Structures are given as structure tokens and as C-alpha cells.
Structure 1
């Protein structure tokens, strides 16, 4: 398996932490839909996650499949390790 730098793990962990926060805020907002502060937090984390995902993929390759991530040319899905392989 291809070696990845420590930065890979740091950024992947940061994405996972943000995903956790987004899921928790989603669950909270299901029962508190009028909590304006929570909606703002949710939107901020979603925006931040999109930015981090783009940065991660620029450095290390695609993170998700099914049209959610771009590919460089040539097709580079085989080049980077999948997140569950590290």
C-alpha cells in the first residue's frame, strides 16, 4: 500500500470530526427546527467541510465516489489510498 504523509491523517481526522458535528446538528435540528443559532452553525460547518474536502482532494485525490468528487486526468481513483485503507 502507498505510504501517506502525516498531513493526510490530520486532514482526514479533521473531516471526520466535522462530519460528526454536522450529523449531531442535523439530529438536533430535526427536533429544534427553529433554532436559528443551530442552523447558522450547521451552515458554517457544511461550508467549512466543503472547503476542507476540496483541499484534501487537491492534495491526496478523490475522497468520495458517485459523482461527489472530481478526478484529475488521467482517471486517478486508483492512485490514492481509500480513506478506509489507512
Structure 2
């Protein structure tokens, strides 16, 4: 197979030429990537250094006992056969 490829001779005049559309697409992708990186860096700089709270008491008070599962209160109160 390699021998047959080498035996074909020099490639034609179109070999190695790329279209300007390909260049535009590559440049557009590079610009888009640069803009996304720039925007993400701005958003990351807005984040606080730490998400830990000094006093977790109010959060814990709200979290305890609130897990009722996937059943809504309305569904528990209705009896079978009622809509």
C-alpha cells in the first residue's frame, strides 16, 4: 500500500492549498474561545474566597426536619376516589 502511494508521483497543483473559508472558521473559533475564557475569568473573580459561613446556625435550623420526601401535602390529604 505504501509503495503504491509513493509510486503515484507528485501531488497535483491543488495539494496543500486551503480555502480562505477554513481560515475564517479557525480564526472565529479562536476568537470565540478567547472571549469565553475572558468571560469565565471575570465570573470566577466575582466568587468569594470561601463559601463557609461563620455561624451556620440559621442554615441548620432550616435544614432539620424539612425532608418530607417526594409526596406533597395535598396528595397525602386526599382520599382514594376523590379528585
Q: Fold conserved (TM > 0.5)?
A: no
Bigger RCO (CA 8 Å, 6+ sep): 1
TM-score, length-scaled by structure 2 = 0.36
User: Could you say which structure has the larger radius of gyration?
Assistant: 2
